[in-house]
Structures are given as structure tokens and as C-alpha cells.
Structure 1
């Protein structure tokens, strides 16, 4: 009898222990699930600087644009890295007093003001170590958008945090793509990518400043797959078509020599073919003289001589950002004998500064010009605000970057998860207001809308000049 009672007590003890173990495991599981963010939950950053970030990424704890280094900026990033945000704010503000045209510092200032508070985090890819001027133009656009939204109370009360990622070579883009899609605290990415597929597959919104080199309607996802990649600039075909028709129908130059830059022959031929097809369709033809600005043995004088001998009347320059110098060499060798035209990458202060009279009269397509909407929104408020913020006129790249972040901001106001942001942007009725006016997307993710043509002209003494070079890009009416 005694043994029977002891057995009953033992069974009861084991049962109670099992219940207690199950309860403990349930509590541990519930606690862990609250700590681990789901890919479907709102990707809110704690805003605490991550010391584990690669050396080419920063929220404010390191200087990536070393060309804009000041003593106050250096002190500010050290304070930011140490979580001393009050000191970081003061030092970044002082640095901007010294150099108001430094977008990296403005971004770090806004991030420092957030401190450790929850925020919505967006990554920005900038080619700082590859083409610094282009990178700074991009950063000015997103910095201005972040500054405006945070100073107005944030996105539904939540501040916007920007994480800068420096790209100094194409190969690093693949690594960046992999890092971003794994970072559950990121809600979106702004900038160029080498692998668009991974964003659609892993469900992270990315807004690119330029569309891929495809025809209209070819930017398609797999059947049934949600689109996460959108473009803040119209399809490249729009730029090419506008310029091709202008060359042939307005300037009446029917024999065109094309000089492009590429280290990949297939890519080079693809770019040239798109321009050639549209120029031919408009009624012109392309000379047979080959020109690759990236060729190690390239000589501008040889190409120009052969192009003229082949009957060329016009010269179309399509450089990469790192080959603009070579394109300017070609323009210089032309000596006014060939009408000059260029891709949108030729729009920049560097072309005016080093091209001067050699590029006088060159026409190129752009997504935005500060005079394009001079009567809109109270005298083009973006251009006015940008001039006040940065101390001068900004480029189309700055305007497009501003638009890219405005798209994300508008989308996050409707839904602050990755999936809800994608659904908002994919809605055919979605629109946002940016530097270039109304922003909408086609089903393929391309920006709807046209382009503008500008021409390099000497500044008139009786009018203000947005450039300090004596030359400016003037809107072609």
C-alpha cells in the first residue's frame, strides 16, 4: 500500500514538473518571438549606430566623403560612434556652418537628432569612391528630402534615418545587394543595383535613379511575382528618342558618329544599337567608325579624323561617369567641325568647367532643369529650396534622388512594412509630388513622363548664371 502511494506521488510530481517545463518553454518562445523581427513586421531601426557595419557603410559614425572633412565633422562622427548624440549634433551643425554644401554631414546631423529613438531606415547607395561629384549630387537629393520630412514631424510621427553605402567598384554592388536584403531593419533602398532579381525575390523595395538599358515595357518580373524595383527616372528609351528626333528633325544632321564607353563589348554594342536604331528610325544614319572611350589605346584625334572622313555631321558622346574626361577630349578635337550631342551623363559642373567653349552648343536630354517648371508650385519650390539649402543650383541627379526618396516617404505614409510599401507603389493610382512634379509608375516600374533638352551656352552678362564656369545648361524651348 505504501509503495502504491509513493508511486502515485511520483506520478503527480512528474506531471507537475512536465507542466512547469512546458510553461517555461512557452514563455521562452513567446519572449524570443517578440525580440526577433519578422520580415513582415515594421522594419524599425533602433537608430543606435552599428559598430559592426562594414567600413563602407555609415549612419554617422565614420566619414565616407573624406574630401569634405572638417575638424568639427571628425569630432562629430567620433561622438556619434560613442552614442554621444548631443555632441554629435552640435559638431555637425558647426561643420555645416563651415561647409553648407556637404550632404553627408546634413544626413549625419539628422541621424544624430534621432539618437536611439525608433526610426524608419532607408539605405542609400552612392559611388563615393568611384565618381565623387555624382555621389554628392545624389546625396544632396536624399539629404534634402530627409531634412524636410524630419523637420515636419517625420512619417506619421516616425523620423527617417538614412544609411549611406559607398560603392567604389561594380563588383561591390553584389555584396551590397546581399547585405541589404538580409537587413530586416531596412524598409527600402535608393540607388543602383547589379542584381535586381534579388530585391524582387527577397521582398525589399529599391528605387533606382535610372532605368535599365531596355526598351519600354521590358522591365518585367516573373509571372505572379510582386515588383519591388522602381525607377525614379523615365525609361532610357525616352531620353534616346527625344535626342534622336532632335538631331535629325530639328538640327537636320543626318550622319551621326557615336562615341561610347564600355569595358564590356556586348554592353557597348547594346547602348550604341539603341541610339542607332532610333536615329535611323528618325531618318538618319550612323557612321561605321568605331569609338570606345574605354579602350586602352583610344586616341580622340584619330577618331575625329576618321569620323569626318566618313561624312559625319554630328557627334554623339555617351560616356560613363569615369570617362567624361575622354569624352571632353573628343569634343575638343572636334574644334566645332561636328555638331555635339551627349547623353544625360554629360550634364554636370565638370563638363562646363573643363569643356568650356569646346562643348558650346552641345545638346543633351535631362530629367529635370531648374527652369522647366518655373511657373509651377510657387516658382518651382524645389529649385528655390535647393538653392537656399546648398548655396546654388543643383543637378537633375539631385532632383531625381530627391524624387526617389519622396516616393518612399509617400509610400511609407500609407504602409510602413516592406510588403505594404510595395503594394502602395504598385497601385496604378499611386502618385507622389517631387522636384519634377507628379511622380507615377508604369506597370513595368518605369517613371511615367517625358524629358527635357538642354544646350551648353555662355552665360549672359545681363542674367544670373547658375554656374561659376561662365557657361551654363540652358533649356531648349
Structure 2
């Protein structure tokens, strides 16, 4: 009997010891870093330094103390504090699109969202990048404030393109993100987007994006769409206007070989020469001719006065300027030396306040082909137009790049309303019947994925005395009727 009692006490003792060990192990498990990460509702955001949804500074030029505090709060998962800080930053810097995007992302927090990405050349062409970001930020803000897409908000991820040599790296990073539904911006590897069923909608033209192969096989499912028409359409509209409307038949062309990529430089020069050949063909078809006077705005030994002398001696009546967006000065030097002798025309890279500010009377009368103008497509009252809404939001007139970035978002938003999956979005946008209305008017795509229509001509004119001058330079771009 005594032996039996001792056995019972032994079993009880062992049981209690086991229970204590189990409790200790449970407590250790609860306090371990691995378990804490598993239950943390706001885990750290892990992404490359050139990608951000609100946890990093990408546009450092727009840095404020409030914005920095908002980014730190966002990074730690304190979204309510991030919201108040981003709102405070916008009070002092209202035209900062990065902060508006971060604000809308902070409002979403960890809730369910439809994720999109926008590629912007922040590290290589800041003004161009900010123009693009304003368009997508305005579209995100409008759709989220109206209840989202079928009740689900849009989350925007900003991707910084520092140079065109990074395009492949960026494409690889984006397509592997299974949560990403679509991309706004330019890229290089269209086959990669198709293989991974990821839609990319570009604000630009299919042949105005350096370094990319824009040809899509019409028989293959297309995953890349361009909100601006094919570049040849812009060239054709301008060529026909010069010859048939302005009656200029002898035309000189200034190209620009200054652009460089990591690719073979000969490819850049070949593309440069092809633009001149294309214009030559289009001008010939319209009834004019191109004078045999070479003009390379990107040449190290380029002298504007020498070219003007040769062009006028050759009988040129008009001049087409095709500078790179980062190499505008030589074009302005040509305009200055021209002194009104030849009528001036150019690509949309000349549609900028910088041209108005530094060109002044030298560029009076310059006609440029663009995908949008604030006075175009006023299919609503003036107060409700995109141009007016954008001016109120950003504190001034916006560029065509902002309008086309906004429309790239409108295309994606319209598609996601019908199907919010990668494959479903592609099928919606590929329909022959697909159409949506944006800042640039009706957006409809050809079988190749290029925009149909959507080209406007604008002319630089002095602002009328007593009337508002949108650019504050004394000159402005007016829509050619």
C-alpha cells in the first residue's frame, strides 16, 4: 500500500514537472523574435531602395520636416500619424505629388487594396518625373475619394528610374510581384510583361521611349498599351501642317544625337537618322522636300550660326527642331540665330515653360505637336475639366505629360472596374470595343496597342495684354484651331 502511494506521488510529480516545462516552452515561444514577427500586424516593408509606397524619400527635392516624419511613421506602421504628417507637408508644398501618393497609401494602411506601380525618371529627369507623378497622383486621389474601384482603393508604388540602363532590372523586379496588377510608365522588355501577364500602360508613344522594343505581334496577346499615338502619327500631322497649311515646301531638320544609353552608341545614331528619314518621307508625301543640310543639336562642335547660314543659302523656308528633353539649349540658340527667317516647328519636347522663359521672342510662332492642351477636349463645363481641376490641385497649369499619365491611370481604372485580375485586365483592354474618356479625350487602342487619334498642334504666341498668362513668362502655347 505504501509502495502504491509512492508511485502515485511520483506520477503526480512528473506530471506537474511536464506541465511546468510546457508552460515555460510556450512562454519562450511567445517572446521569441520569430513569433513576434508572425503576429506583428505591421511587419517591416522590404523593397529595393528605388521603390517606395511611402516608406522612403525618392523625390528628395521636395523634402519637408513633416514629410520626413510621415515617412518614418509609415515605415513603422503608424498610419494615423503618417496621414497627419503628410497632410501637413502638403499644406506647405501643395504641388508635391509624391506626398499625395504617400498620403493616399497611408489612408489604406494594411487594408485590402489594388496595387499599381508607376515608373518615373526621378534620378535622371526630375521635372519630367514630377509631371508624370502628378498625373497618377491626381487619378489615385480622385478614385479613392469616390469609394475606390468596386469599393477597393488603389495603392500606388513609385519606382525611380535613374538611368535607362536600369530598365531591365526594374522590369524584372515588377513582374515578379504577384500582388501588382498593372504598371504605368515605360519599359524595355515587352516580352517579359507578356510572359508574366502584367499590363503596362505608357503615357508616351510607342516610339518615343528610348531603349525599348515597341513592336508587338498583333497575333499575340498584348500587354503593353500606349496612351499617346505612335510617334509617326505626331510626325505626319506636323509634316502635313507645314506643307499643306503653312505652305512651306523647303524644310530643314535639326536632329539630336546627344542621347546615350548603355547600348551600342551606333544604335542611338541609327535611330536618330531614322527620324530624319521618316520626316523626309512624310514631307515628300505631303508635297514638300527636305534640304540637304545636316543639323545635329547634339554634336560637340555644333554652331547654330553656321547652320542657319547654310540652311538659308539652301533655300530653307521652315525648320523642324527635334531636341532631346535634356538638351534644349542648342535648339534655343538656333531659334535666336534664325531671327525669324525660317518658320519654326518642333517635337513635343519643346512644350515646356523653360522654352517660353528662355526663348521669348526668338521662339514666337513655333508650332509643336502634342498629345494634349488645356483648351482641348472640353467636353464638360470649364470648371469640371481636367485642366481646371489640375490647376486647382497643383497651383498652376500642368503639362501634356501630366495629362497622359492621368489617362494611363484612367485606362487601368476602367479595366479594373470590369476585372481586377492581371489576366482579366489584359482581356478588357484588348477588346476592340474598349474605350474610356480622359484628359486627352476618348482613349481607344489599335490592334498593336497604340492610341488612336489624340494629336494636337499648339503655337507659341505672346500673351494678350490684360489677360492671364498661364506660364507667367509673357508667352504661352495656344491651341491651333
TM-score with structure 1 length normalisation? 0.86
Contact 2:218–2:448 (Cα < 8 Å) also in 1 = no
Following superposition, the deviation at residue 465 of structure 1 comes to 1.6
Match of 1:184 among 169, 173, 178: 178
Secondary structure at 2:252 match in 1: strand
- The answer to whether 1:104 aligns with 2:123 is no
- Greater CA drift, 416-425 or 85-94: 85-94
Following superposition, the deviation at residue 116 of structure 1 comes to 1.1
CA distance in 2, matches of 1:435, 1:88: 31
CA deviations over 1:145-193 (Å, ceiling 9, x no partner) = 0000000111111110111111121101111111111111110011111
CA deviations over 1:263-297 (Å, ceiling 9, x no partner) = 41111011111111111111111122222222233
CA distance in 2, matches of 1:265, 1:82: 49
- In structure 1, the residue matched to 2:137 is 143
Contact 1:365–1:454 (Cα < 8 Å) also in 2 = yes
Following superposition, the deviation at residue 222 of structure 1 comes to 3.7
CA distance in 2, matches of 1:197, 1:354: 42
- The answer to whether 1:253 aligns with 2:257 is no
- The answer to whether 1:332 aligns with 2:336 is yes
- Greater CA drift, 219-228 or 200-209: 219-228
- In structure 2, the residue matched to 1:348 is 352
- The alpha-carbon distance between structure 1 residues 476 and 223, as it changes in their structure 2 partners (threshold 3 A), is closer
Runs of 4+ in 1 over 6 A off after TM superposition: 47-50
Following superposition, the deviation at residue 326 of structure 1 comes to 2.3
- Greater CA drift, 128-137 or 300-309: 300-309
- In structure 1, the residue matched to 2:14 is none
CA distance in 2, matches of 1:299, 1:127: 30
Bigger Cα Rg: 2
**RMSD of equivalent CA atoms:** 1.8
CA distance in 2, matches of 1:254, 1:85: 62
Following superposition, the deviation at residue 259 of structure 1 comes to 0.9
CA deviations over 1:412-434 (Å, ceiling 9, x no partner) = 01111110000000011111121
- The answer to whether 1:291 aligns with 2:295 is yes
Secondary structure at 1:428 match in 2: coil
Q: Where do 1:149-188 residues align within 5 Å?
A: 149-188=143-182
- The answer to whether 1:366 aligns with 2:360 is no
- In structure 2, the residue matched to 1:226 is 221
- In structure 1, the residue matched to 2:199 is 205
Secondary structure at 1:413 match in 2: helix
Following superposition, the deviation at residue 364 of structure 1 comes to 0.6
- In structure 1, the residue matched to 2:380 is 377
- Greater CA drift, 144-153 or 59-68: 59-68
CA distance in 2, matches of 1:238, 1:48: 49
Contact 2:44–2:76 (Cα < 8 Å) also in 1 = no
CA distance in 1, matches of 2:303, 2:98: 38
- In structure 2, the residue matched to 1:306 is 310
- The alpha-carbon distance between structure 1 residues 53 and 304, as it changes in their structure 2 partners (threshold 3 A), is farther
Contact 1:49–1:59 (Cα < 8 Å) also in 2 = no
CA distance in 2, matches of 1:113, 1:450: 35
Following superposition, the deviation at residue 302 of structure 1 comes to 2.5
- In structure 2, the residue matched to 1:444 is 448
Secondary structure at 2:328 match in 1: helix
- The alpha-carbon distance between structure 1 residues 188 and 462, as it changes in their structure 2 partners (threshold 3 A), is same
- In structure 1, the residue matched to 2:402 is 398
Match of 2:55 among 41, 57, 61: 61
CA distance in 2, matches of 1:65, 1:301: 39
Following superposition, the deviation at residue 248 of structure 1 comes to 0.8
CA deviations over 1:234-260 (Å, ceiling 9, x no partner) = 221221111111111111111111112
Following superposition, the deviation at residue 121 of structure 1 comes to 1.0
CA distance in 2, matches of 1:49, 1:312: 65
Secondary structure at 1:456 match in 2: strand
CA distance in 2, matches of 1:213, 1:220: 9
Residue ranges of structure 1 left out of the alignment (5+ in a row): 1-46
Contact 1:367–1:452 (Cα < 8 Å) also in 2 = yes
- In structure 2, the residue matched to 1:240 is 235
- In structure 1, the residue matched to 2:438 is 434
CA distance in 1, matches of 2:45, 2:246: 56
Following superposition, the deviation at residue 461 of structure 1 comes to 1.7
- In structure 1, the residue matched to 2:461 is 457
- Greater CA drift, 447-456 or 222-231: 222-231
CA distance in 1, matches of 2:120, 2:375: 27
Following superposition, the deviation at residue 48 of structure 1 comes to 6.6
Contact 2:206–2:229 (Cα < 8 Å) also in 1 = no
CA distance in 1, matches of 2:308, 2:85: 52
Following superposition, the deviation at residue 49 of structure 1 comes to 8.3
TM-score with structure 2 length normalisation? 0.85
Following superposition, the deviation at residue 310 of structure 1 comes to 2.0
- The alpha-carbon distance between structure 1 residues 421 and 256, as it changes in their structure 2 partners (threshold 3 A), is same
- In structure 2, the residue matched to 1:279 is 283
CA distance in 2, matches of 1:72, 1:248: 55
CA distance in 1, matches of 2:331, 2:123: 21
CA distance in 2, matches of 1:265, 1:58: 35
CA distance in 1, matches of 2:352, 2:217: 37
Aligned length: 427
- In structure 2, the residue matched to 1:194 is 188
